[in-house]
Amino acid sequence: MSQARVLTDKELNLLLLFVQTKKHADRNRAMVLMTHLAGMRVKEVAATRIGDVLTSGGGIKKEIRLTAEQTKGKYARTIVLSERLRKELLNYLQTRFDSKQLISIATTKNIKKPLFKTQKRDGFSTNTLCHHFHILYKTAGLDGASSHSGRRHFLTRLSSKGVALRTMMELVGHRQAQTTMRYIDVTDDMKKAAVELI
């Protein structure tokens, strides 16, 4: 089976523009960006709870601490959120709750609810979210892209910026360097930049 396609930055921007034209745009945009900007697995996105991201003051945490049950491989892990992703998540939550509700949620049972709500249930399962991503990519005309495309894009971008392998492994929760290396796509721009270093 071939690997998921790695989107270029231009293709990611086109996907986000496409998402904006559909129902649940803020939710879908935030879910897509959690994979592309934080390297999260779809299982982790589906398993993220409101309390994992929301501070007691109604803001967004700088890190998400996921339990072993929320991740793959039975290991807890910490996901570092960029400023851009934190803004996206706050924007999404503000479309779901008003400002007063956001502050009060941190002290209620709502913090245990899934971050991303579906139309029919409280949250996505891993399988339904994989299917949802498949449909998003397909209808946006991005053949070969899948729920793993965001994770591969994240690692490929980090590699192109010269981020150390060990750092990339920590960011995506890999224990083996070979696993991380399989996710990285070598682009023409990366090859051109490499030869210019000589």
Rounded CA-CA distance 51/94 in Å is: 15
Buried b / exposed e along 108-117 (16+ C-beta atoms within 10 A): eeeeeebbbe
What's the predicted TM-score (pTM) here?
0.90
Maximal CA-CA distance, the chain: 58
Q: Phi and psi of 186, rounded to 5°?
A: -90, 115
Asked if residues 160 and 193 have their Cβ atoms less than 8 Å apart, the reply is yes
124-158 tens-digit pLDDT? 999 999 999 999 999 999 999 999 999 999 999 99
Residue 42 identity: V
The pLDDT profile of the chain, 198 residues, written as one tens digit per residue, is 578 899 999 999 999 999 999 999 999 999 999 999 999 999 999 999 999 999 888 889 999 999 999 998 788 999 999 999 999 999 999 998 877 777 677 667 778 899 999 888 789 999 999 999 999 999 999 999 999 999 999 999 999 999 999 999 999 999 899 988 988 888 888 888 888 888
- CA-atom Rg of the chain in angstroms: 17
Tokens standing for residue 32: 């897509």
Contact partners, residue 146, CB within 8 Å, separation at least 6: 4, 5, 130, 133, 134, 137
Rounded CA-CA distance 136/16 in Å is: 10
Ordered by where they begin, the domains of the chain are 9-149 (1.10.443.10)
For Cα atoms 51, 20, 128, give the angle at the middle one, nearest 5 degrees.
55
